[in-house]
Structure 1
Amino acid sequence: MDQQPETGWSGGRNVFGDFAPGMVHYTDRVLFDEVWERAGLSKRDRSLVTVAALTAMGKMEQLQFHLAFARQNGVTDDELKEALLQLAFYAGWPNGMGATTVLKTIVEKAD
């Protein structure tokens, strides 16, 4: 893969280092540098959409990052709790419970 200048985002590199350079590239350069920076939605709205999708699919490992990222992007804890309650009825109670457990852990660690 061609060497490209470093970007402001390094989440993929932090997770994978040199282990999976393709995953690092697409995570850092495409997903977070291109998709997340598009003007069509605010980062706050992108975070809510992402949290909803990951909750619906039961992807708790990815939710650990994205719930914390949603908080950084301006989504309040109360809004996240409400979103997860709503999702529990549409995405399945176990997924909603799992996501709420992840959020609770994040909030408690931040306190």
Structure 2
Amino acid sequence: MNHRKIKSTARESFGDIAPTFVRYSEEVLFGDVWRREQLSLRERSLLTISALVAGGLSEQLSYHLRLAKENGLNEEELIEALTHLAFYAGWPRAASAIQVAKEVFEENT
């Protein structure tokens, strides 16, 4: 199992007040859970984005869209996934997610 240190926004956001939360994020979530071999990083990104959209949790979505691109998903695939989710997670949630995706994708232009 690869236990390399993962840079996280949690450290920047919460490191001063919640160091244990940061440690769990870096070592357990992104160190152990995300590194399990049964699913690829690409698959884990797609599942995570789907769960965030289904739950209406757009606060973490921009981070995970960027990570998904690093993990091999392209913008067309991500938009297709968000469009597909509209029928299962709800139109407003998908529309909000597509707005976040638009903002993330425009960062690179």
State TM-score, norm by structure 2. Answer: 0.92
- Structure 2, unaligned stretches of length 5 or more? none
Task: Check if 1:18 corresponds to 2:16.
Answer: yes
Aligned match of 1:76: 74
> Which of 40, 43, 49 is equivalent to 2:41?
43
Aligned match of 1:28: 26
Q: State the Cα deviation string for residues 55-92 of structure 1 (Å, max 9, x = none).
A: 00011111011011101101010000000000011000
State TM-score, norm by structure 1. Answer: 0.91
Any runs of at least 4 consecutive aligned residues in structure 1 with deviations exceeding 3 A, and if so which? Answer: none
**Contact 2:5/2:27 (<8 A) preserved:** no
SS at match of 1:70: helix
Task: Check if 1:62 corresponds to 2:60.
Answer: yes
SS at match of 1:19: coil
Paired with 1:93 and 1:37, the residues of 2 have a C-alpha distance of: 32
Aligned residue pairs total 106
Paired with 2:49 and 2:89, the residues of 1 have a C-alpha distance of: 12
Look up the equivalent residue of 2:34 and give its one-letter code.
Answer: W
Task: Check if 1:52 corresponds to 2:42.
Answer: no
Sequence identity percentage: 47
- Structure 1, unaligned stretches of length 5 or more? 1-5
RMSD: 1.3
Paired with 2:44 and 2:4, the residues of 1 have a C-alpha distance of: 20
Aligned match of 1:8: 5
Paired with 1:7 and 1:44, the residues of 2 have a C-alpha distance of: 18
Q: Structure 2 vs 1, CA of residues 29 and 42 (structure 1 numbering), >3 Å: closer, same or farther?
A: same
